[in-house]
Amino acid sequence: MSRKIIHIDMDCFYAAIEMREDPSLRDVPLAVGGHPDRRGVIATANYRARRFGIQSAMPSKTACRLCPQLIIIPTRMALYRQESRRIRQIFADYTDRIEPLSLDEAYLDVTDVDACEGSATLIAEQIRRRIHDETGLTASAGVAPNKFLAKVASDLDKPDGRTTIAPRQVDEFIRELPVADIPGVGEVTTEKLHRLGFRTCADLQQLTINEMLRRFGNRGRRLYDLCRGVDDRPVKVERIPKSISVETTYNEDLPDADSCVSKIPGLLEELTDRYDRRDDPPPVRGLFVKVKFDDFRQTTLERSEYTEPAPDSYETLMRQAIDRHDRPVRLLGLGMRLDPDAHSAPVQLHLFR
Ligand code: TTP
Ligand code: MG
């Protein structure tokens, strides 16, 4: 039984949001990213700027050289996260089988969805229309029997387009697909494939599985499948964690509470980085520390009245936890209890660094 997978990818996401916020930016070459004088890089650019060759991850300095009239504005992650949440809420009206890949991109498995009489193409079109009506932004979609083909398809009619590859069209579609368009095949592999005379997936299909493994090692098996349009990876539904934590075991035991407290800033930085890296960080509902002593006894202490990961709060918790046994310490951990069901605005953790 074949699956129905939709890949949705927003068009020039950060830039599109900024153009919506300030319509005077609509008709100019626009990039979002770092300042050219401070070695900034481009996060993304609108389609007008892309005509000058401007791309994500390019140094802003290079971008300004390519397009002297380019307007670069700084990123506003909180705003982009908020838009990302709105889009995900639209997805959630259709299915809970959602795998977000980044703020602006997700796979949806709609195999068992009844909406739109079960037509994945109609569901994709309805989602795109709703995104446009409710956020003023445009999205592109790919509809296919698996994640690989859906992702390739979503790029074919960008921006504001949709491509469906029906099961019966897969063989023909994949034969003509250039090897460079296989997600995960970067420039180096593409060059290697071209040198060997492989330009399309049809060329690659000539190789037996053993030849694939010999030439490409472990990746050979996956390439063997992909060039036939086969991809069995399931849509992985993201579980929102109920807590996040970091811990370190020290080479030498920490002799007293003060030496433990001196480790808080480093641990806290690691912890807040982890939190910040989440697309949609849930609010903090408590803090905890973990302490393991030199005799391997372990204790944890948690307080739900702390809802901001401030160093002072961790210090209070840590001193109390150490007091319980008052011995040298071999391991320290810091954690935050999260509320995965709440979607209020996340705290600005960098304030506490
Ligand atoms: P993409 O979907 O790769 O790009 P995009 O949405 O800007 O443009 P497209 O229409 O081609 O899909 O990435 C989504 C957002 O992620 C993008 O708006 C900015 C951010 N991003 C970076 O910050 N750095 C990067 O190197 C890339 C690729 C994206
Ligand atoms: Mg995008």
Beta bridge partners of 73: 32
Long-range contacts of 286-289 (CB under 8 A, 24+ apart): 286/336, 286/337, 287/313, 287/314, 287/317, 287/334, 287/335, 287/336, 287/337, 288/243, 288/245, 288/317, 288/334, 288/335, 288/336, 288/337, 289/314, 289/317, 289/318, 289/321, 289/332, 289/333, 289/334, 289/335
Over the stretch 32-44, which tens digit does the pLDDT of each residue have? 999 999 999 999 9
Ligand 1 atom index nearest CA of 104? 14
Which DSSP letter does residue 282 get? P
Which protein residues have a CB closer than 5 Å to ligand 2 (ion)?
9-10, 13, 104
- Tell me the average pLDDT across 6-28: 97
- Please give the distance, rounded to the nearest whole angstrom, from the Cα atom of residue 286 to the centre of ligand 2: 35
- Please give the distance, rounded to the nearest whole angstrom, from the Cα atom of residue 19 to the centre of ligand 1: 15
Q: Residue of the nearest CA to atom 28 in ligand 1?
A: 56
- Please give the distance, rounded to the nearest whole angstrom, from the Cα atom of residue 104 to the centre of ligand 1: 8
Distance CA 239, CA 247 (A): 22
Domain with CATH 1.10.150.20 in the chain: 171-226
- Please give the distance, rounded to the nearest whole angstrom, from the Cα atom of residue 125 to the centre of ligand 1: 22
Q: Do 91 and 106 touch, CB atoms closer than 8 A? A: yes
Whether residue 45 has its Cβ less than 6 Å from ligand 1 = no
Q: Are strands 71-73 and 5-10 parallel, antiparallel or unpaired?
A: unpaired
Domain with CATH 3.30.70.270 in the chain: 1-161
- Confidence label for 143 from pLDDT (cuts 50, 70 and 90): very high
- Confidence label for 240 from pLDDT (cuts 50, 70 and 90): confident
Over the stretch 280-320, which tens digit does the pLDDT of each residue have? 778 899 999 999 999 999 999 999 999 999 999 999 999 99
Topology at the third CATH level for domain 243-342: Dna Ligase; domain 1 (3.30.1490)
How many residues belong to the chain? 353
Over the stretch 337-346, which tens digit does the pLDDT of each residue have? 998 777 544 4
- Tell me the average pLDDT across 245-273: 96
Q: What pLDDT score does 277 carry?
A: 77
CATH number for domain 171-226, candidates 3.40.640.10, 2.60.40.10, 2.40.37.20, 1.10.150.20: 1.10.150.20
Distance CA 167, CA 225 (A): 15
Q: What pLDDT score does 282 carry?
A: 85
Residue 72, pLDDT > 60, answer yes
- Confidence label for 268 from pLDDT (cuts 50, 70 and 90): very high
pTM, to two decimals: 0.75
Ligand 1 atom index nearest CA of 47? 10
Over the stretch 191-200, which tens digit does the pLDDT of each residue have? 999 999 999 9
Q: What pLDDT score does 177 carry?
A: 98
Ligand nearest to the Cα of 159, by number: 1
Chain-centre distance for alpha carbon 38: 25
Domain with CATH 3.30.1490.100 in the chain: 243-342
Distance CA 286, CA 309 (A): 8
CATH of domain 1-161: 3.30.70.270
